[in-house]
Amino acid sequence: MRAMSASLRTHINEELTTLVTCWKITLRDTTVKGYTSHTRDLTFSSQLYKASSGYTPTAIEQSSDLAVDNLEIQGFLDNAEITEAELMAGRWDYALVEIFRVNYADLSMGKDVLKVGRLGEVQMKVGQFVAELRGLSQHMTTQIVELTTPHCRADLGDARCGVTLASFTVAGTVTTATSRKQFTDSSRGEGTGTYNGGMVTFTSGLNNGLKMEVKTFTAGGVVVLFLNLPYNIQVGDTYSMSRGCDKTLSTCINTYGQVANFRGEPHIPGIDKIMQGP
């Protein structure tokens, strides 16, 4: 039985109710946004919940076992609140969401919490955003032990890797902007592939503070990103760019000299070896 005040429980059981649904969304940067299915804005526990007709949640599915209960939320992009640029920048990915009901005629009754969870990656489809809300039981499916792999399981530059990423990071300025995922810095003198799989962080311009993984780096300073940035890249934008790692033993030895910290098992026979006949 869900915890709620006795007065709210009594109201829910009445034949005629004045219940509305509220969504409280806490983004990863701690920004809190509130929305409600009511026809006008509500203020509950000092948080403003804006009336929004653009949201269409599916039925909430919950179970008594450890199965993951999910909910899908759809809505039209709203330039004032949820913009395409924000979604592409990943600001809404993995946001903490609380869905609850209140009696808009008497907010002092408190709330009836329907679901708490986190959004998955928010996707855009023809002017709409679609996101799956994953219940707290989602965390029970997380793998908490490591499996043997031929490739390194550490991330380049983290504590387990031990590489000082600053030593493999350069700064530069965009000299040619081809698209939102490709630009050129003609001052770069490194060879083709040097920054493949690396990370670009823009330090000025419309994309200031945003990061994107490098798909390919070509001699002459041509950088192609894996995905479009939310805003146009412009000539004169500054950036920092770090090298990537393909997580192989040879790269660990020859490029980074950190073989003592290599977190893979490339010499363990795999399934192909096990399946071989005599």
What value does the mean pLDDT take over residues 96-102?
Answer: 90
For residues 25-39, average pLDDT: 87
**Residue 118: is its pLDDT beyond 50?**
yes
Domain membership of residue 150 (yes or no) is no
Structural tokens at position 146: 């490591």
61 and 133 part of one domain: yes
Q: How confident is the model at residue 251 (pLDDT cuts 50, 70, 90)?
A: very high
Please say if the pLDDT value at position 120 is more than 90: no
Q: 14 and 89 share a domain?
A: yes
Distance CA 184, CA 168 (A): 19
Question: pLDDT tens for residues 207-245?
Answer: 999 999 999 999 999 999 999 998 999 999 999 999 999
Q: What is the pLDDT of residue 76?
A: 56
Residues 22 and 69 in one domain: yes
Do residues 119 and 189 share a domain? no
Residue 148 lies in a domain: no
153 domain-assigned: no
Residues 10 and 134 in one domain: yes
Residue 158 lies in a domain: no
Is the same domain home to 133 and 174? Answer: no
Q: Please give the pLDDT value at position 85.
A: 72
Q: Please write the tens of the pLDDT for every residue from 38-58.
A: 889 999 999 999 886 555 555
Phi, psi of 23 (to 5 degrees): -120, 120
94 or 44, greater pLDDT: 44
- Res 2: pLDDT: 74
- How sure is the predictor about 271, in pLDDT bands with cuts at 50, 70 and 90? confident
pLDDT at residue number 263: 92
Strands (E) located in the chain: 19-26, 32-36, 42-44, 47-51, 55-57, 70-76, 96-103, 111-119, 123-125, 128-135, 169-173, 176-179, 182-184, 199-202, 211-218, 222-225, 238-242
Banded pLDDT at 122 (limits 50, 70, 90)? confident
Question: Is 155 within the bounds of a domain?
Answer: no
Residues 193 and 103 in one domain: no
Residue 246's CATH number: 2.40.10
Whether 79 and 187 map to the same domain: the answer is: no
pLDDT (0 to 100) of residue 93: 81
Compute the mean pLDDT over every residue in the chain, rounded to the nearest whole number. 84
**134 plus 169 within the same structural domain:** no
154 within some domain: no
Query: Is 108 among the domain residues?
Result: yes
| More confident: 54 or 172 | 172
Domain residues for the domain of 57 are: 6-138
Distance CA 83, CA 71 (A): 22
Same domain, 174 and 221: yes
My answer on whether 26 and 127 are in the same domain is yes
Structural domains in the chain (count): 2
Choose the weakest-confidence range: 1-15, 97-111, 172-186, 193-207: 1-15
Query: What are 144-169's pLDDT values in tens digits?
Result: 677 888 999 999 999 999 999 999 99
Same domain, 10 and 132: yes
Question: Are 115 and 135 in contact, with CB atoms under 8 Å apart?
Answer: yes
Residue 269 lies in a domain: no
CATH at 108: 2.30.110
> If you average pLDDT over residues 111-127, what whole number do you get?
78
State the pTM of this model. 0.56
